[in-house]
Amino acid sequence: MNKTTLIILAAVAGFFILTFFWGVGVNNNMVTYDEAVTSQWGQVENVYQRRADLIPNLVSTVKGYANFEQKTLTDVIEARAKATSVTIDASKLTPENVQQFQAAQGGLTQALGRLMVVSEQYPELKANQNFLELQSQLEGTENRITVERQKFNESVNIFNTYIRKFPQSFIAGFKGFEKKGYFEATAGSEKAPEVKF
């Protein structure tokens, strides 16, 4: 073999070695970002579970008040059951699955909102210390949900952006990394509620 052939072979081998290590680095970054999304999803599930755990105590407290609208309580109980039945494996956070989870949780949010509105008609309930404490915990939990959803969306944005950029998109497709779903604003939330006196 002559010197020119050796140089060409060394250059080709060097190119393949560099490409291999670049591919390993890209793959490792994808795994890191994917794990960050999975971890943040766990946090989202934790705060939603906290809310679901508070609801039985809230319902028990409210049940003690005569004439309280039974339908409102039933709606909350059914919405909680539906919300807790929708779970998503962190490896299947597709836009459709996240939307389904969000819809179930949105139903519970609406039912709780109606419960709080109806409770305003019961002065003795509003003065009940247990009810006030549960209401405060629910408000704090709703704030935590908002924060964790925002952090989740940030993690998803980093992951989705990385796997869609060229040339990482080749490795993402080859390794099966797919775009993750975001939490989105609820339909109709862009309109201010109509207030009537």
**What stretches of the chain show up as alpha helix (H) in DSSP?**
3-63, 70-85, 95-119, 123-126, 129-164, 168-175
Q: What is the DSSP string of 37-87?
A: HHHHHHHHHHHHHHHHHHHHHHHHHHHTSTT--HHHHHHHHHHHHHHHH--
User: Do the domain assignments include residue 186?
Assistant: no
Residue 41 lies in a domain: yes
Domain count, the chain: 1
**pLDDT value, residue 186:** 66
CA pair distance 110, 175, nearest whole angstrom: 40
Does any domain span residue 92? yes
Q: How many CA atoms lie within 13 A of 69 on its CB side?
A: 14
* Residue 123, domain member (yes or no): yes
In contact, 47 and 145? CB cutoff 8 Å: yes
Is there a domain that residue 158 lies in? yes
Phi-psi region of 68 (alpha: psi -120 to 50; beta: other; left: phi over 0): beta
Quote the pLDDT of residue 66: 57
Tell me which residue range forms the domain holding 48: 3-175
The model's pLDDT over 79-132, given as tens digits with 9 standing for 90+, comes to: 999 999 998 998 899 999 999 999 999 999 999 988 888 888 888 887 888 888
Q: How far is CA 145 from CA 40, 56, 105, 196, in A?
A: 12, 19, 11, 29
Name the stretches of the chain with pLDDT < 50: 189-197
Residue 188 lies in a domain: no
Q: Domain for residue 127, yes or no?
A: yes
Q: The domain that contains 52 carries what CATH number?
A: 1.20.1440.20
CB 57, CB 137: distance < 8 Å: no
Q: Is residue 87 part of a domain?
A: yes
pLDDT at 194: 44
